[in-house]
Structure 1
């Protein structure tokens, strides 16, 4: 009986092994380790072009160095090796934006360096996971769209989108705009590939484990294991279907955010700024605007449930569970909404769900927002710490050409959660 329990444990472990595997988002952390990414990672174009050319010489070696890529993503990397440095930058930009938007929240996009980027958080089907998926998908879309315009990629150029109908006739259309159409398509193919590769009907089992089962179990033992493993398998398949649909939906919401906020801008041409001619083209917003937009979607995220049959009575023909709002009084979520299944709680330390807790976090006792001591400390209270800090003061400009400052000492108070 002890052997049977051990084998059942191994089977269960195999079923959940994919949850702790490295994620493709880790290439964003690899990018940060190689170089410090500025607020605009496209300034040094010559250096980027040289780096991309080196990768093209041996794409297989480069692609194998990127951890966390799925089988399909590795194939995309081999076909579009010049895209991968851009994808890495876009992913890093998404992680940075997540940390900015959530700096005053219980979960502040804390990074763990185990290949999963955000650790156990991504195992949960909560609002935070929804935002993380959306902002990473948006980051890839944004970076690739801008790289096309800057001539960094061989398979795309400036935007070829059609002329807006409301553009005045005497205004020229066709300046070099950001290629959001291409960025959207590439991001969809690359970011969604791991979800589309999930096998819902077959769970991998080690050949060594198979030999152990065949050599040690009786027919009665087989019956016990089969009943237990089939039940586990069915539950795992349903969980995978639901999470896949949730992730795909939020990935799409991130891409649509980039599309929605892209605007038409026009430049004037003419003698002495007369603006006798205007050239218009498509331009991305700042990524901060995208982050703010998705943060609003996070705050208004829709709690959902998934119907088991997808409106199809034939279970064998079922492919995608149908999304329904948890509260039936409200209409279903739109494609622009973020969706989640379970509420989250990051007040206390819990490594299983990726929560570091809020103990020792700074808070603001005068605030009434999420950074307030009441909200940040989850009702546990806070300690006030007084300390002296040194800072520059009494600065004067000295001709020519320097600034001289004195050093002043000041007593400050900070609040830290208990």
Structure 2
């Protein structure tokens, strides 16, 4: 590619690479463990894990910090849901302000996913706060007005995603902008942050209400709403599986990330990028927040799925046992308006990685 300087042929690029892999993890996620003083305020001086710039955002817009805290909780919960069958299942550590330990300190696929998910979660949480009237500085998106090409009337309270995205950019992206755009890791984080926010934008939905005699729907009023966060997590999980390994290069004297495989086309803004291969996560490495897979539940009936015992247990073996589970069964609808179920006890096989 004309104008591209390979990584190993430039002293300047080698200096940039020195700061490529190691970076402060998304320590703002520790807000999930830090209760705020009271609703609508944030004791900024007491919050741990924030950079100086993020503390500045906190002091200027303290009422938003509760939404940021909710975004941190959403990130951890959704990560653990999406990776529940993987070797690394988003296990958290109680030490320090780095929620996931040092797992995210390297530019791996896992780091790419968590950064994208975190940026999306903050945008969603702030947007919800705007739509619900919980934040004084924002409200519904009033720009969506008039008649659509499909013939319905835009009305109602459309989610103000543009405001949520702008806040996410100012808060979540701040550490990378402060560090400068000269390191591959900063470029990676910023790219993945934006990919997370685009996962919301490209999955917005339209909800409508019919008006007219006896529900004739002579007039429809509609508004735009964000997708469920579970949908955002699923989209980003798919992007994780297809993430592109990138390398830092100089194009016209400007550092950029390009696919390590030169036969691949440049990734789109919605794709995830990573810089280094992931560890296998098989053996415990507590200092880095890796708990290993011993004792983990796995799927003993599959050999290829991500949750298969051969995969999760790293080929080190698994054991099978029986357990009694209590489940709802024989559910019947009772007029009006409840569902009554019986409790059924079943014996199931449980597969766990060898301790």
TM-score with structure 2 length normalisation? 0.84
Alignment of 1:180-191 (within 5 A): 180-191=161-172
How many angstroms apart in 1 are the aligned matches of 2:350 and 2:172?
A: 41
Q: In 2 relative to 1, CA 187–348 (structure 1 residues): closer, same or farther, beyond 3 Å?
A: same
Alignment of 1:40-189 (within 5 A): 51-52=39-40, 55=41, 59=42, 62-113=43-94, 114-163=96-145, 167-169=149-151, 171-189=152-170
Task: Give, in angstroms, the shift of residue 402 of structure 1.
Answer: 11
Contact 1:311–1:322 (8 Å) recurs in 2: no
Contact 2:145–2:153 (8 Å) recurs in 1: no
Q: In 2 relative to 1, CA 20–393 (structure 1 residues): closer, same or farther, beyond 3 Å?
A: closer
1:25 is matched with which residue? 29
Please tell me whether residue 311 in structure 1 is matched to residue 293 in structure 2.
no
Task: Give, in angstroms, the shift of residue 163 of structure 1.
Answer: 4.9
Contact 1:21–1:68 (8 Å) recurs in 2: no
Moved over 4 A (4+): 18-22, 162-166, 392-397, 401-408
Q: In 2 relative to 1, CA 329–352 (structure 1 residues): closer, same or farther, beyond 3 Å?
A: farther
Local SS of the residue matching 1:119: coil
Local SS of the residue matching 2:49: coil
2:15 is matched with which residue? none
1:359 is matched with which residue? 294
Q: In 2 relative to 1, CA 284–373 (structure 1 residues): closer, same or farther, beyond 3 Å?
A: same
Task: Give, in angstroms, the shift of residue 415 of structure 1.
Answer: 1.5
How many angstroms apart in 2 are the aligned matches of 1:104 and 1:140?
A: 25
Alignment of 1:224-239 (within 5 A): none
1:9 is matched with which residue? none
1:194 is matched with which residue? 175
Please tell me whether residue 391 in structure 1 is matched to residue 326 in structure 2.
yes
Local SS of the residue matching 2:135: coil
Local SS of the residue matching 2:208: strand
1:350 is matched with which residue? 285
Q: In 2 relative to 1, CA 301–278 (structure 1 residues): closer, same or farther, beyond 3 Å?
A: same
Contact 1:141–1:255 (8 Å) recurs in 2: yes
Task: Give, in angstroms, the shift of residue 338 of structure 1.
Answer: 0.4
Alignment of 1:368-379 (within 5 A): 368-379=304-315
Local SS of the residue matching 1:110: coil
Contact 1:21–1:115 (8 Å) recurs in 2: no
Match for residue 241 of structure 2 among 278, 284, 299: 299
Q: Deviations over 1:354-390 (max 9, x none)?
A: 3221111111111241111111111111122334x36
How many angstroms apart in 2 are the aligned matches of 1:338 and 1:100?
A: 19
Contact 1:86–1:147 (8 Å) recurs in 2: yes
Task: Give, in angstroms, the shift of residue 331 of structure 1.
Answer: 0.8
How many angstroms apart in 2 are the aligned matches of 1:105 and 1:115?
A: 24
How many angstroms apart in 2 are the aligned matches of 1:139 and 1:330?
A: 30
Please tell me whether residue 329 in structure 1 is matched to residue 263 in structure 2.
yes
Task: Give, in angstroms, the shift of residue 393 of structure 1.
Answer: 8.2
Q: In 2 relative to 1, CA 197–406 (structure 1 residues): closer, same or farther, beyond 3 Å?
A: closer
Structure holding more helix per residue: 1
Q: In 2 relative to 1, CA 329–280 (structure 1 residues): closer, same or farther, beyond 3 Å?
A: same
TM-score with structure 1 length normalisation? 0.72
Local SS of the residue matching 2:179: coil
Q: In 2 relative to 1, CA 20–138 (structure 1 residues): closer, same or farther, beyond 3 Å?
A: closer
How many angstroms apart in 2 are the aligned matches of 1:392 and 1:173?
A: 45
Equivalent residues, number: 328
Q: Deviations over 1:331-363 (max 9, x none)?
A: 111110000011112122223543221111111
Contact 1:90–1:139 (8 Å) recurs in 2: yes
Contact 1:145–1:182 (8 Å) recurs in 2: yes
Task: Give, in angstroms, the shift of residue 191 of structure 1.
Answer: 0.3
Q: Deviations over 1:228-280 (max 9, x none)?
A: xxxxxxxxxx7xx1111111111111111111111222211122111111111
Contact 2:131–2:157 (8 Å) recurs in 1: yes
How many angstroms apart in 2 are the aligned matches of 1:295 and 1:21?
A: 19
How many angstroms apart in 2 are the aligned matches of 1:90 and 1:361?
A: 28
Local SS of the residue matching 1:161: coil
| 5+ residue gaps, structure 1 | 1-14, 35-49, 201-237, 313-317
Task: Give, in angstroms, the shift of residue 199 of structure 1.
Answer: 6.3
Task: Give, in angstroms, the shift of residue 165 of structure 1.
Answer: 8.3
| Structure (1 or 2) with the larger CA radius of gyration | 1
